């Protein structure tokens, strides 16, 4: 069966009114019958006004623009809550069942306008996890991969954030917080393994851990 709106077209806009439940949206009427609800952005883009003729083709364009506006509004809202990678936003939008081509198109626009930047996202994520959670490079990189960040970008972010870090001091901080737990293990070999495993779980590389392991063990035993 044909859509009711198709039966109204072509037709002249008899009125445009602000919706009662959402002051940022407008209802368009043809011959005093509701045709479609649109955002202010769509209204302005098509320069819609009372008396204008709406054809089938124009209605389809309006519907496409409304679909795009919905995707953009959703993605901007997500970015307003916290930083996201492109992959994270794409995944969330797909779950909302928005069309993939529109999602990609909007994501491209957000990147072009600087709202979305995977390089900046990766660096901030690395800084936050390193400073607040004391994560090491391996754990940070694994989580960046999950968020769709490329290996090169992840590695660059890690190198930039960790280049000035004093790993010995960082390891001492992490190990001494658990000093009592480590001292419960009387076997020196097993105790050392527990220290190494703890730092490895935090995401630090074995080469860095073993560079400082003897000093760490002495600090625990003091």
pLDDT at position 2 is: 47
Instruction: Assess whether 15 and 101 both reside in one domain.
Output: yes
Instruction: Assess whether 194 and 101 both reside in one domain.
Output: no
pTM of the model: 0.81
Instruction: Assess whether 124 and 210 both reside in one domain.
Output: no
| Residue range of the domain that includes 149 | 118-162
pLDDT at position 222 is: 85
Instruction: Assess whether 32 and 94 both reside in one domain.
Output: yes
List residues bridging with 27 in a β-sheet: 17, 37
Instruction: Assess whether 30 and 91 both reside in one domain.
Output: yes
Helices 137-146 and 151-162, interaxial angle, to 10°? 150
CATH number for position 154:
1.10.10
Instruction: Assess whether 97 and 27 both reside in one domain.
Output: yes
Instruction: Assess whether 25 and 103 both reside in one domain.
Output: yes
Look at the chain and report how many structural domains it folds into: 3
* Helices marked H in 18-166: 40-45, 56-81, 86-95, 100-112, 118-132, 137-146, 151-162
Instruction: Assess whether 45 and 135 both reside in one domain.
Output: no
Host H or E run for residue 14: strand 11-18
pLDDT at position 8 is: 76
Instruction: Assess whether 90 and 16 both reside in one domain.
Output: yes
Instruction: Assess whether 172 and 206 both reside in one domain.
Output: yes
pLDDT at position 7 is: 65
Per-residue pLDDT of the chain (222 residues; tens, 9 = 90+): 445 555 678 999 999 999 998 888 999 999 999 999 999 999 999 999 999 999 999 999 999 999 999 999 999 999 999 999 999 999 999 999 999 999 999 999 999 999 999 999 999 999 999 999 999 999 999 999 999 999 999 999 999 999 999 999 999 999 999 999 999 999 999 999 999 999 999 999 999 999 999 999 999 988
């Amino acid at each position: 069966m044909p859509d009711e709106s198709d039966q109204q077209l072509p037709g002249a806009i008899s009125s445009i009114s602000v919706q009662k439940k959402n002051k940022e949206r407008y209802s368009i009427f043809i011959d005093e019958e509701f045709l479609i609800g649109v955002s202010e952005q769509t209204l302005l883009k098509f320069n819609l006004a009372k008396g204008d003729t709406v054809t089938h083709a124009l209605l389809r364009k309006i519907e496409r623009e409304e679909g795009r506006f919905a995707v953009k509004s959703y993605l901007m809202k997500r970015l307003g809550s916290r930083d996201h990678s492109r992959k994270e936003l794409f995944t969330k939008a797909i779950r909302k069942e928005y069309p993939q081509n529109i999602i990609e198109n909007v994501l491209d626009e957000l990147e072009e306008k600087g709202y979305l930047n995977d390089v900046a996202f990766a660096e901030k994520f690395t800084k936050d996890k390193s400073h607040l959670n004391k994560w090491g490079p391996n754990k940070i990189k694994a989580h960046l991969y999950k968020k769709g960040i490329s290996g090169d970008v992840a590695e660059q972010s890690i190198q930039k954030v960790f280049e000035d870090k004093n790993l010995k001091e960082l390891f001492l901080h992490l190990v001494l917080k658990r000093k009592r737990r480590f001292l419960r293990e009387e076997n020196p070999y097993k105790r050392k393994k527990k220290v190494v495993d703890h730092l490895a779980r935090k995401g630090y590389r074995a080469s860095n851990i073993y560079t400082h392991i003897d000093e760490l063990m002495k600090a625990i035993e003091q």
